[in-house]
Structure 1
Amino acid sequence: MKITSTLAASALIASTLLAGCATPYQQQPNVQSYPAANTQGYNTQYGVIDSIQSTRAPNNSGPGMGAVVGGVVGGLLGNQVGGGSGRAVATAAGVVGGAVVGNNLEKNNQAPGRELYQIGVRLDNGSFETINEENIGDLRVGNRVRIENGRVYRY
């Protein structure tokens, strides 16, 4: 009974600490503009493509099953060491160490982020916008385009 409650407390502490370290990825809007007097839609702008660059989107996964499984296995192994209060310390250290190792293993085995294209557009009003798209289709540098709701279209 004492071992089970110690193990459960250690797992709870480790998961709380790991969850506190997580930073969620929040994608910011690509285009922020106000409608001009000569535009057709609410969020439509016109310009010419200045540059197109290929990038990788960040892999936004935080601690997942690798950390959980690693914490449980580490806690079980740490519980086998020592006796008395030393066992509780070894269990807690096993939970934390196992969670870190499991999280690192999971991160190393994940596929890289998806490919994105950063499209730089020089707008008719002289400003410059950068829009991220997953597919550029038939867009090329020098094309006349319209930007509508954060997407680039040939015009």
Structure 2
Amino acid sequence: MRILTCAATTAALALAGCASTSPGYGPGYGSGYGNTAPPAGRCSDCGTVVAIETSAAGGGTNVVGPVLGGIVGAVAAKELARKNTDSEGRRNVAIAAGAAGGAVAGNAIQNRTGANRSGYTIHVRMDDGRTTAVHQADLDGIREGSYVRVQNGRAWAY
């Protein structure tokens, strides 16, 4: 039981390290010049589209995330079990649990990154100098150079 608790704690800490609360903003162009207020008549969450990338889903199931997660989980569990138990059966159970937990975590991380999503990634230089990128299924008339508002993870023609 102690091994499973250690493995679960290790997996939770590993996933917490991958979590991000940032909405995807970077320092962008023009940061540090002191002019962070948007120009008159423009909104604070608006900007200009600087690039649009088209992406297509692979069509099949991508197993890279679960496989790599399973391997990492099994190796971590093996090391924990080696140090914490003398029973071969408990080691095997810990390794299997680590592999399963790692595979689930790897799949969740892969799905969160959107590796298999088709559509468009729209890169926007915000009026205050930040840059952001949003992924959406359609463009709705947006093209490079368009002035857009970014709300709820989507770009809208302004």
- Radius of gyration: which is bigger? 1
TM-score by length of 1: 0.50
TM-score by length of 2: 0.49
Q: Higher relative contact order at CA 8 Å, sep ≥6: structure 1 or structure 2?
A: 2
